[in-house]
Structure 1
Amino acid sequence: MYNFNFQPVFENLDLLGYGALLTIRMSLIAMVLGLIVSMLGAVAKTSGIRPLRWLVDVYVEVIRNTPFLIQIFFIFFGLPAVGISMSPDTAAIVALVINVGAYGTEIIRAGIESIPGGQIEAGKALGLSPVQIFRYVVVKPALRNIYPSLTSQFIYLMLTSSVVSVISANDLASAGADLNARTFASFEIYLVLTVMYFLLALGFSTLFAAIRRNFFSYPASR
């Protein structure tokens, strides 16, 4: 019979709470930077510049067809061999941004290509500049179309961030591993971590749903 003992967890809730805050911070930074990379990549893929499209295609295919664990090992352990060294936290964020940027590029590209050509022609007929057409005619409708897929990818990014603990980056998984090494209460610690990651995912889902209601909902008809 296993004797459950949650006392070590309760005594170190501040450590796990701090780890959760670090995970939230890391995830938000990676989401914002990843969105920028995704938009730039999608614009490059839908442009008429063939070499640029080819470079983005290579980037997307390499990232999407290799394990995230290998990517983060390459960034943290491989790049120092050519003189590029990073702290564990910086390497973790870079790896997350590169990873989500590849997936986000394809999602946003699909959104851009879903915009009917007639809407773009209408923007030109109204005298809008290419930048204005992209901003008002393409971007917002495209983001509205792909918002659920994009936010699902961001939530997956937050959950994937637990992998960064393998390079000693500071996050919730790393805090749990440190606590487990001190107390050996593995079942209790990882049960609590499971609940905490679930609550984090639920919190991000609620945040993204609120953003969608405020920025991407169609006006109510009268």
Structure 2
Amino acid sequence: MDYVFQFGAVFQRTDLIVSGLLMTIKLSVIATIAGFLLGVICARATREGSLVSRWLATTYVEIIRNTPFLAQLYMVAFGLPQMALWFGLHIRPSPYILASVALSINLGAYVTEIVRAGLDAIPKAQVEAAESLALTPFQIFLHVKLAPALAKVFPALTSQFVLQMLGSSVVSVIAVQELTAAAGRIQSETFRTFETYLVVTAIYFVLAFVLRSILSLVVRAIWPWMPRGARRSRA
């Protein structure tokens, strides 16, 4: 029996698709910004921090990178409210906030390793020259270490940001109404499972392409001296 595609029922619930798409974009933007900042802070802590801060940052990275994101998501979703109760706080964050926190924590660990690799590639002579100019440690880190380090590892960061956006589909298990959750609701209402997930897969593909294009423009704006061929080869 030949299968007949019927996309009409799926596109009748465009409202769910759009709302889920917007939620996916919001989660990705928040997690990308927060995870990047967390990764930079932890990368500096592992290189220039005290013994305690180095141990804390290293432990955080190892735990996150060696456990599944789904387990981390459940720990945040159910662990944070429980910890709040221990301190007498009756706080019940929304699934959206919990998902944002979990995604940011997960991304931050991977960004830490990527940025740390970039910092290790900075020549010591370059740092010594900055110190001879009486620059403060923060100025040296920001302008002499971090900026060129990001130029070296930005393609790897781009790939990690895209993976994080695609991985946001997992947060549907804690009732966050993002794109995958919207797809589950649509297919349960229309019984057109294949068509629903085919449309959603195409949307994720377009999102990944658009995100890579935007980040490529960012690279071109910040580091115009970087050859285009080098950007493509590194990505």
Q: What is the TM-score with the length of structure 1 in the denominator?
A: 0.95
**Secondary structure of the structure 1 residue equivalent to 2:80:** helix
Larger mean Cα displacement after TM superposition, 57-66 or 6-15? 6-15
Question: Structure 1 counterpart of 2:146, which letter?
Answer: V
Question: Structure 2 counterpart of 1:15, which letter?
Answer: L
Larger mean Cα displacement after TM superposition, 188-197 or 108-117? 108-117
Question: Structure 1 counterpart of 2:198, which letter?
Answer: L
Gap runs ≥5 in structure 1: none
Larger mean Cα displacement after TM superposition, 140-149 or 4-13? 4-13
Q: Distance between the aligned counterparts of 1:61 and 1:164, measured in 2?
A: 22
User: Cα 1:54–1:24, aligned 2, differ >3 Å: closer, same or farther?
Assistant: same
Q: Deviations over 1:2-37 (max 9, x none)?
A: 221111112112321221111111100110011110
1:199 counterpart residue number: 206
Q: Distance between the aligned counterparts of 2:52 and 2:155, measured in 1?
A: 31
The yes-or-no answer on 1:36 pairing with 2:37 is: yes
1:181 to 188, 195, 201: 188
Q: Deviations over 1:178-203 (max 9, x none)?
A: 11111111000000000000000000
Structure 1 runs (4+) greater than 2 angstroms displaced:
77-86
Question: Structure 2 counterpart of 1:101, which letter?
Answer: G
User: Cα 1:219–1:57, aligned 2, differ >3 Å: closer, same or farther?
Assistant: closer
The yes-or-no answer on 1:111 pairing with 2:118 is: yes
2:56 counterpart residue number: 55
Q: Distance between the aligned counterparts of 2:93 and 2:187, measured in 1?
A: 27
Gap runs ≥5 in structure 2: 86-90, 228-235
Q: CA deviation at 1:78?
A: 3.1
Q: Does the 8 Å contact 1:76/1:85 carry over to 2?
A: no
Q: Does the 8 Å contact 2:220/2:226 carry over to 1?
A: no
2:146 counterpart residue number: 139
Q: Distance between the aligned counterparts of 1:64 and 1:44, measured in 2?
A: 17
Q: Distance between the aligned counterparts of 1:138 and 1:45, measured in 2?
A: 14
Question: Structure 2 counterpart of 1:74, which letter?
Answer: M
Q: What is the TM-score with the length of structure 2 in the denominator?
A: 0.90
Taking every aligned residue pair, what percent have the same amino acid on both sides?
45
Q: Deviations over 1:151-194 (max 9, x none)?
A: 11011000000000011112111111111111111000000000
Structural RMSD (CA):
1.4
Q: Distance between the aligned counterparts of 1:13 and 1:215, measured in 2?
A: 37
User: Cα 1:48–1:32, aligned 2, differ >3 Å: closer, same or farther?
Assistant: closer
Q: Distance between the aligned counterparts of 2:141 and 2:190, measured in 1?
A: 55
Question: Structure 1 counterpart of 2:103, which letter?
Answer: L
Count of residues in correspondence between the two structures: 220
The yes-or-no answer on 1:128 pairing with 2:135 is: yes
The yes-or-no answer on 1:11 pairing with 2:24 is: no
Q: Distance between the aligned counterparts of 2:122 and 2:168, measured in 1?
A: 33
Q: Distance between the aligned counterparts of 2:218 and 2:5, measured in 1?
A: 41
Q: CA deviation at 1:130?
A: 1.6
